[in-house]
């Protein structure tokens, strides 16, 4: 083998290995099951891509709390591929396979808003949970104020306590009525 062909062989081998290594992909949700927190997704960067099936959906969560996002068919999501086999962690034991950055170890980590459909962000400095058009929203601003906007607001509780210096409804002071 000549030096040129050896260099070419190594270069082609490295390029082929890199092409088979997945780090992160923008995908479209094909099917989602919010009961099992899994989705089938299609990578958008490759017209010949095959769907990645049963991708776990990652959420912001702790042992006691979860922030659930209800993904739907057609949503654009960011999918990362783990450096190592996730099966032993996800299924609770067993031997890890020797694969790295495989689509078999993909995780949906969040939605992606494309530049082709920008959101007119009314609250760039606040924490917001709401619809994309902001017609329904919960906003926490830097001053610690909480605002809720909704067509209907329902509270279900065993006990409701209102505490404040001034409590108003539609501009009418209710403070004395509640005390």
pLDDT score at 35: 94
pLDDT, one tens digit per residue, over 39-55 is 999 999 888 999 999 99
CATH of the domain at 90: 2.40.50.230
Q: For residue 176, tell me if it sits in a domain.
A: no
pLDDT score at 101: 72
Tokens of 100: 């790295």
pLDDT, one tens digit per residue, over 141-173 is 999 999 999 999 899 999 988 777 788 888 888
pLDDT, one tens digit per residue, over 55-99 is 999 988 888 888 888 999 999 999 998 877 777 778 887 777 777
pLDDT score at 13: 67
Separation of alpha carbons 24 and 7, rounded Å: 29
Asked if 96 contacts 87 with a C-beta cutoff of 8 angstroms, the reply is yes
Q: Which residues constitute the domain of residue 30?
A: 22-111
Q: For residue 9, tell me if it sits in a domain.
A: no
**Same domain membership, residue 126 and residue 77:** no
User: Per the structure, how many domains does the chain have?
Assistant: 2
Q: How many CB atoms lie within 10 A of CB 79?
A: 24
pLDDT score at 1: 52
pLDDT, one tens digit per residue, over 7-35 is 777 677 666 655 566 688 999 999 999 99
Q: For residue 163, tell me if it sits in a domain.
A: no
pLDDT score at 102: 78
Rounded mean pLDDT, 124-128:
91
Separation of alpha carbons 62 and 124, rounded Å: 26
Q: What is the pTM of this model?
A: 0.73
Q: For residue 168, tell me if it sits in a domain.
A: no
**Same domain membership, residue 98 and residue 146:** no
Q: For residue 3, tell me if it sits in a domain.
A: no
User: In degrees, to the nearest 5, what angle opens at C-alpha 88 toward C-alphas 29 and 68?
Assistant: 40
**Same domain membership, residue 131 and residue 106:** no
**Same domain membership, residue 103 and residue 134:** no
């Amino acid at each position: 083998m000549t030096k040129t062909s050896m260099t070419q062989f190594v270069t082609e081998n490295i390029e082929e290995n890199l092409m088979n290594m997945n780090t992160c992909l923008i995908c479209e949700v094909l099917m989602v099951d919010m009961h099992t927190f899994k989705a089938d997704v299609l990578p958008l960067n490759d017209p010949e891509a095959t769907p990645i099936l049963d991708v776990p959906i990652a959420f912001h969560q702790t042992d006691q709390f979860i922030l659930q996002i209800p993904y739907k068919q057609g949503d654009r999501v960011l999918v990362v591929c783990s450096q190592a086999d996730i099966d032993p962690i996800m299924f609770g034991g067993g031997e890890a396979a020797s694969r790295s950055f495989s689509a078999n170890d993909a995780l949906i980590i969040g939605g992606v808003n494309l530049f082709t459909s920008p959101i007119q962000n009314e609250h760039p400095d606040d924490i917001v949970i709401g619809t994309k058009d902001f017609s329904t929203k919960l906003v926490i601003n830097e001053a610690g104020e909480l605002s809720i906007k909704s067509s209907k607001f329902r509270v279900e509780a065993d006990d409701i306590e209102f505490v404040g210096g001034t409590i108003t409804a539609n501009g009418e002071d209710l403070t004395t009525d509640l005390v």
